[in-house]
Amino acid sequence: MGTRIIGTGSCLPATIVTNDDLAKIMDTSDEWISTRTGIRERHLVKEETTTSMSAEAARRAMENAGVTAEEIDLLIVGTLSADCVTPACACEVQAQIGAVNAVAFDINAACAGFMFALNIANAYLQTGIYKTGLILGAETLSKIMDWNDRSTCVLFGDGAGAAVVRAEEQAGLLAFDQGSDGVKGKVLACRNRSNNNPLMETSKELEYVHMDGQEVYKFAVTAVPHSLQKTIQAAGLTVEDIDYFALHQANIRILQSVAKRLKVSEDKFPISLDHCGNISAASVPILLDEMNRKGMLKAGMKIAMSGFGGGLTWASAVVEW
Catalytic residues: 111, 248, 278
Which one of 18, 40, 213, 230 is in contact with ligand UT7 (CB under 6 A)?
Answer: 213
Told to check if 303 binds ligand UT7 by CB under 6 A, we report no
Told to check if 216 binds ligand UT7 by CB under 6 A, we report yes
Per-residue string for binding with ligand UT7, 137-166, x by CB under 6 A? -------------xx--x------------
Told to check if 105 binds ligand UT7 by CB under 6 A, we report no
Other CB atoms within 10 A of residue 239 CB: 16
Closest CA to 50 of 189, 143, 188, 134: 143
Residue 42 Cβ vs ligand UT7, minimum distance, rounded to whole Å:
13
Told to check if 93 binds ligand UT7 by CB under 6 A, we report no
Other CB atoms within 10 A of residue 258 CB: 22
Nearer to ligand UT7, 189 or 301 (CB): 189
Stretch that binds ligand UT7, among 41-49, 93-101, 174-182, 210-218 (CB under 6 A): 210-218
Residue 211 Cβ vs ligand UT7, minimum distance, rounded to whole Å:
6
Q: Could you give the count of Cα atoms lying within 13 Å of 241 in the half-sphere of its Cβ?
A: 16
Distance CA 90, CA 67 (A): 18
Q: Is 285 helix (H, G, I), strand (E, B) or coil?
A: helix
The answer to whether 73 touches 131, Cβ cutoff 8 Å, is yes
Nearer to ligand UT7, 36 or 230 (CB): 36
DSSP code per residue over 227-251: HHHHHHHHTT--GGG-SEEEE--S-
End-to-end Cα separation, the chain, in angstroms: 16
Binding site for ligand UT7 (CB under 6 A): 28, 32-33, 36-37, 111, 150-151, 154, 188, 211, 213-214, 216-217, 220, 250-251, 254, 278, 309
